[in-house]
Chain A
Amino acid sequence: DTAVSQTPKYLVTQMGNDKSIKCEQNLGHDTMYWYKQDSKKFLKIMFSYNNKELIINETVPNRFSPKSPDKAHLNLHINSLELGDSAVYFCASSQEIRFDNSYEQYFGPGTRLTVT
């Protein structure tokens, strides 16, 4: 059984388009995340949702919007795509992370986005 899944795995699109990436976890976790990994492999947090509430929103452009229909899903919608958005986007989930604990994050397989 896949713990954290993402679709699509590859996404090639043109500048200016709008696209969505879907993420689902079947681990019963409370918190889900979106990360962006650039060409230099730097993994940077974009968003996190805890019980359907946004608990962090790093300095990402407002063209990016996370949407969580329920605790098991966190989708990422991107408007007006730009060349610099090309990267691998990882979804992740974990147990409640706001308190002292060692709950690790489980990552999805990633979505490789290429903007041309």
Chain B
Amino acid sequence: GQNIDQPTEMTATEGAIVQINCTYQTSGFNGLFWYQQHAGEAPTFLSYNVLDGLEEKGRFSSFLSRSKGYSYLLLKELQMKDSASYLCAVRVSGGSYIPTFGRGTSLIVHP
């Protein structure tokens, strides 16, 4: 099985930078996804990492270290609309290849 751990909740100030961590324990790692989910809405795709390093996409960046079983999502220039849950999902090779989701991190951005 897979064990995915994220902080339950984080708070940050508008305009600041926040880093949301995700650690995982799995065999046959085959990629890590980050999704954003606003309250009452569907999850939407943010990023995908399969190789070590940083992937940047606008204000959002995602980092992966496979040897450490660790990823983070970095959000810059925070806006109020970034208040949402951020879900880390890990995929393993073999079997179904369907990503397993962590419990998500609820980010609250305040003025």
0 or 1 for each of B10-33: is its CB under 8 Å from A? (1 = yes): 000000000000000000001101
Q: How far apart are the CA atoms of A55 and B41 in the complex, in Å?
A: 27
* Size of A's binding interface in residues, CB under 8 A: 24
Write out the residue numbers on chain B whose beta carbons fall within 8 Å of the beta carbon of A106.
Answer: 45
Q: Is the interface of A mostly helix, strand, loop or mixed?
A: loop
B48 within 8 A of A: yes
- Select B98's contact among A97, A104, A108, A110, beta carbons within 8 Å: A97
Smallest beta-carbon distance B66→chain A, Å: 14
Task: Tell me whether B98 and A48 are in contact (CB under 8 A).
Answer: yes
Q: How far is the CA of A72 from the CA of B101 in the complex (A)?
A: 24
Look across to chain B and name the residue whose beta carbon is closest to the beta carbon of A106: B45
Q: What per-residue 1/0 map shows which CB atoms of B75-97 lie under 8 Å from chain A?
A: 00000000001010000010111
A44 at the B interface (CB under 8 A)? yes
Given A33-B98, A48-B96, A56-B98, CB of A100 within 8 Å of CB of B30: yes
- By a beta-carbon cutoff of 8 Å, the part of chain B in contact with chain A is 30-31, 33, 37, 41-45, 48, 50, 85, 87, 93, 95-101, 103-104, 106
Closest 6 CB pairs of A and B: A104-B45, A107-B42, A56-B96, A102-B48, A43-B101, A97-B97
Which A residues have a C-beta under 8 Å from some C-beta of B? 4, 33, 40-45, 48, 55-56, 90, 97-100, 102, 104-110
